[in-house]
């Protein structure tokens, strides 16, 4: 695993083998950022990385200039790894929290320009993630959200859904928050 672009590009991320994660592949991550770079300038934006796992997306967002990246991960070993790696790379813009994602989404007062969620594929209530984000107004206007999910999950009938892309076993659903005037 590596950071694809930006200030920390080509730095290698070496998580311990015992972490209970399914990291987004470098190919899927590169494809995701190729798409997103045409939609959002990450520089000086705020980002939220849900179900952070190894923190690979958080490092990528920080590397591309996000002024603040909030990483939310429930597993203590993952959280410890995120903090250790951010410290080793000298990344000061990542703030990692050990929290249940659903409780976090219901309680945070913050708003973000970009939100990424990579929940466990076996999680039964994946569609609830986008519902909570929009119900709690967590995306700034013109903000983007991407959810990585298994092929069985379909967000196409949800408000603000933009498109779905598939890369091997990885499915990304994109949402764009535009206020209805």
Closest CA to 102 of 67, 68, 127: 127
Task: Work out the mean pLDDT of the chain and round it to a whole number.
Answer: 93
In sequence order, the β-bridge partners of residue 94 are 69
* Encoded tokens for 15: 């998580």
Which residue carries 């597993």 as its tokens? 75
How many angstroms separate the CA atoms of 52 and 71, rounded?
6
When pLDDT is averaged across residues 80-101 and rounded to a whole number, the result is 96
How many angstroms separate the CA atoms of 38 and 16, rounded?
34
Closest CA to 165 of 27, 40, 61, 54: 27
Which residue carries 């951010």 as its tokens? 86
Domain boundaries, the chain: 26-176
Is the pLDDT reported for residue 118 higher than 80?
A: yes
The pTM of the full predicted model, rounded to 2 decimals, is: 0.94
Topology of domain 26-176, CATH = Rossmann fold (3.40.50)
Is the pLDDT reported for residue 142 higher than 90?
A: yes
**Model pLDDT for residues 12-67, shown as the tens digit of each residue:** 999 888 887 877 777 888 889 999 998 999 999 999 999 999 999 999 999 999 99
């Amino acid at each position: 695993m590596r950071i694809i672009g930006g200030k920390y590009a080509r730095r290698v991320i070496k998580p311990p083998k015992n972490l209970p994660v399914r990291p987004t592949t470098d190919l899927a991550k590169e494809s995701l950022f190729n798409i997103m770079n045409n939609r959002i300038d990450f520089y000086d934006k705020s980002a939220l990385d849900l179900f952070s796992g190894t923190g690979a997306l958080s490092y990528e967002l920080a590397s591309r200039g996000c002024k603040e990246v909030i990483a939310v991960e429930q597993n203590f070993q993952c959280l410890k790894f995120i903090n250790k790696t951010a410290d080793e790379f000298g990344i000061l813009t990542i703030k990692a929290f050990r929290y249940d994602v659903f409780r976090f989404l219901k309680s945070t007062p913050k708003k973000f320009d970009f939100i990424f969620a990579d929940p466990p594929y076996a999680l039964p209530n994946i569609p609830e993630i986008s519902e909570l984000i929009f119900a709690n107004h967590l995306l700034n206007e013109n903000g983007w959200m991407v959810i990585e999910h298994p092929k069985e999950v379909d967000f196409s009938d949800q408000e603000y859904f933009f498109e779905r892309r598939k890369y091997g076993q990885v499915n990304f659903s994109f949402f764009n928050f535009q206020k209805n005037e």
